[in-house]
Every structure is written in C-alpha cells, then in structure tokens.
Amino acid sequence: MTNSVFKRFLFTSLAICIVCLIVAHGVLTLPVSRFLEENRQDSLKEYSAELSRYIGEATGDDINTLCGGNSRLFENSIKTLGNSMHAFILVTDTEGKFVYSNNTSILTDRNRLSEELLEEFSKGEFFEHGTLDNNYNNKYYISATPITAHSRGTVITGYCVVSQSTLWTGDYIPSIFFVFMLVILLAVAVLFILSSVFVYNTSLPLKQMSHAAKRFAVGDFESRVSVRRKDEIGQLAEAFNEMADSLAASEGMRRNFVANVSHELKTPMTTIAGYIDGILDGTIPKEEEAYYLAIVSEEIKRLSRLVTSMISLSKIDSGEIKVNKSRFEIQSTIFNVLVQFEGEIEKKNISVIGLEDEEDIFTYGDRDLIYQVIYNLVENAVKFTPQNGYIKLHIKNTDGQTHVSIENSGEGILPEDLRLVFDKFYKTDKSRSIDKKSMGLGLYIARTIILLHEGNITAESEPGNYCRFSFWLDNSDAQTKRAKDETERLKEENK
C-alpha cells in the first residue's frame, strides 16, 4: 500500500530520529565548546605561571640575560616548550619592551606593550581572547604572568605572555564531534531498526483486519485475526474477532431466516393453491368442499401469524415498539389467552392448573404487549405438552414486582439448548416433527417485550419432566400501592 500505516510510522520514526539528532547536536555543541574553552584557559594560565617561574629562576634580577650568548641553550628550551604546547611566547621587561619571542611573525611592528597592559599584568593573572592591544595580527587566547626575581622576594623583573591560536582548539573539535556523531548515528540506526520491527508488528494486525474486512464485504465471514498481544491492538483484534463471530452468527441466522420464511410460506401457499384448484376444477367433491375450505382457513391463519411475527420482529429491530403502561388485571389476560387455545387443550386433554386458587392481581405495564408475551409462552407450552399432560400457571406480587410462571410437562429442553431458546430464529425442534408452525421468533419477541418493561424472563427445564418460563414486571411504589388498594376493594365487593 502506498499510504500504509507501516510506511507512515516508519517515516515518522525516521523524522523523529533526525530531529533528535539535530537537537542533540545543537544542545551538546555549546557545553562541549565551553568545556574546551575553560579547560584551555586553565591550562594556559597554569602554563604561563610555570613558565614565568622557570624564566625568573633562570634570569635572576636581569630579564635581559634571557637573550645572550650564554643563554642560547635556555632560549632553545623555551622555544621547544612553546612548540610542544602550540604556544607563542613573548617576554618583556618591566617597561614592556620585548625581550624575547619564539615567533615574531604574529607580532605587529610594535616592540613595546602599553602601560595600561603592564598595569593589568602586574595585578597577577591576566587572560583575554584578543590581539593584546593590537600587538598581534590576529586574535589569540592570551595569558600573562609577572616574572619575579626569587633572590629579591616578589620584585617584578618582567612579564611572560603565552598565547595560543583559536585554530588550535578547532583541531580537536572535529575529532570530538566526529566520534559524537558516529555514536549518535549508530544509536539512531539501532533505534530505527527497533522502531521498524515494532511498527511492523503493530501494523500487521491492522493489515490483517483490513483484509478480513474486505472479505466480509463479499460475504466471507471465516477470516479471523491472530491475537498474540494484550495491549490496545490486541484488544482491538479480539473485538474484531468477536464482531466477526457476531456477523457470522447473524449471517447464519439470516440464511436460516430465508430458509424458514421460504418453507413457512411455501407450505401453506402450496396447500391453499392445491385445495382451491381442486375445488375450482371439480376434483374435490361438493360434499367435501367444507372440509378442505376449513384446512385452507387454517393455513391462511398460519400465514397471518407468520406475517404478524414478521411485523413484530421488524418493529423490534427498528425500535418502533412503544410501551404504553397502564394498570390491569393480569389473570383476565391469561384467561383470554387460554381461551384461544381451548380447542387444542381439550384435544390433547391437557390439565390447566394453578389459576383456580389465584387471587385477583393487578400489575402495571402495556396490556397488549404483555398479552403477546403470555400468548407466545402459552402457545409454546401447549405445543410441547404431551397427551394427558399439564400446564401449570402461577402469579404473585412480591416486593413491588409481579411474577408470572408458566410450566408444562413434557420432554423439556436440553441444557445446551436452554441458553439459546431466546435467540432469534432458534428452534429446539430442528426436525420440525413437533414445531411445524413456528419460526423460532415467539420467545425472542417475548424476551424483548419484557426487557422493554425493564423486567426479566428466564427458562428452567428438567429434561424428560418439565419446562418452565418465568418473567417479572417491576411496579413503582405508587403503582404497587394502587394495585394493592384495588385488590382490597375487589375483595370487599366479593364478600
């Protein structure tokens, strides 16, 4: 990729290294130069003092004896010392007249120092970076020390001026900074390599996620990102894999949904078309038309239930369902639902127990939506209750909550299926041997409605024995009080 994260990180790291190199060079240049200046100043002062003592011991009271036939060896030794130190040595008498110089080429046409300079020299150590009051052709580092005759105490017999060229320090600065730059460049190279490895390892999961996302776009949800780290990138990769799992599950649900809808629509429509055609073309005798029209009616009702479930599902997914709460008696709602299944209950000889001893209980919620919840749960119970089985219902108000449970005998639900029963399109009877008319939406819709009421719904089962669904609705303190008052009022009226 032309504008990949890896390249951007890489060039950013390189730019940071270069900036750090420039800043380090600028920051360290001044301290190193200052250190060299101070070090040379100290060494120049020390050398000037030592040389003054040496000349004082050698010349005694008369500084002019420095330049004579008998002092040639001494003069040569001073010259040798000056050369070894890359220093220019100038000796004057007390009046500033030049007595000796190991390099006259640096001097101007003057042969005497001014009284102002001599006065400064006489105070002790003298140091400057200049031309010695224009006695030198160029600027030098200059240190001057009085020469004293040891035989006469501290009497000054002359002055020793030691100078060094500014270029002499420059001979060492390139070498110092060459080493410094070499070390910095090596450090930058190591840092650049480590940054490259780090950036590559950081961008690799992002690249994998990009490739996986492109495959998701064409419907392939099998790609996953390998997670080997625990930092933010690792957390992002884990979240990406979880998203991929969710998308794969949604895609599976979508395919199941299409298959279920196709099956649910095709079967009744085929039945309806077949029987209607049979009636129209005379294949079905007149005396049997009523029987087959009843079957057609049942299939149409089945299609109606399917459309109703699809509309409810669409409203849930789009967030269009609004909860309009009011106070109502929940037993009457349950009785109305049971009446809808009266024929099938009698057909399977199912015993309905638990409501005969229940007192009147009022709750607070959306009556129509709670009716839908109870309808779906009772439909599920009737469907899976075997011949001569039972359906047990229980209602109670406890601590400001209305609890409802619907239990039926039968095979129950396996533990591995129990945690999935509220999922969209999930059917425990995958063979459709019993659950032929369901799309696996009833329990999902029931749970969504209860959650919209800020309640909860649970499922319990003992395989081969029973299955129980329970839900509760939360009532506020004021609502609970009104419900209790209404219950007491009804009790008094029934006495």
The DSSP bridge pattern shows strands 156-165 and 87-93 to be: antiparallel
Rounded to an integer, what distance in angstroms lies between the CA atom of residue 118 and that of residue 124?
A: 10
45-50, long-range: CB < 8 A, 24+ apart: 45/125, 45/127, 45/143, 45/145, 47/85, 47/87, 47/143, 47/162, 48/125, 48/143, 48/144, 48/145, 48/160, 48/161, 48/162, 49/125, 49/145
What's the pTM?
A: 0.45
pLDDT at 391: 93
pLDDT at 360: 77
How would you list the strands of the sheet with 351-353, edge to edge? 351-353, 390-398, 401-409, 466-474, 456-462
Assess if CATH 3.30.450.20 describes domain 5-174.
yes
In sequence order, which residues have a C-beta less than 8 Å from that of residue 249 and are 6 or more positions away? none
Per domain, the residue ranges of the chain are 5-174, 224-320, 322-494
Task: Collapse the DSSP code of 135 into the 3-class scheme (helix H, G, I; strand E, B; otherwise coil) and give the result.
Answer: coil
As averages over each run of 10 residues, the pLDDT of the chain (495 residues) reads 60 75 69 73 83 78 65 68 78 85 79 85 83 85 83 76 69 64 76 75 76 78 74 77 79 70 73 86 86 84 74 69 84 88 90 78 87 90 92 88 92 85 69 51 86 90 91 70 59 59
Class of 322-494 in CATH: alpha beta
Q: Which fold has domain 224-320?
A: Helix Hairpins (1.10.287)
Contact 90, 82 (CB under 8 A): no
Contact 409, 390 (CB under 8 A): yes
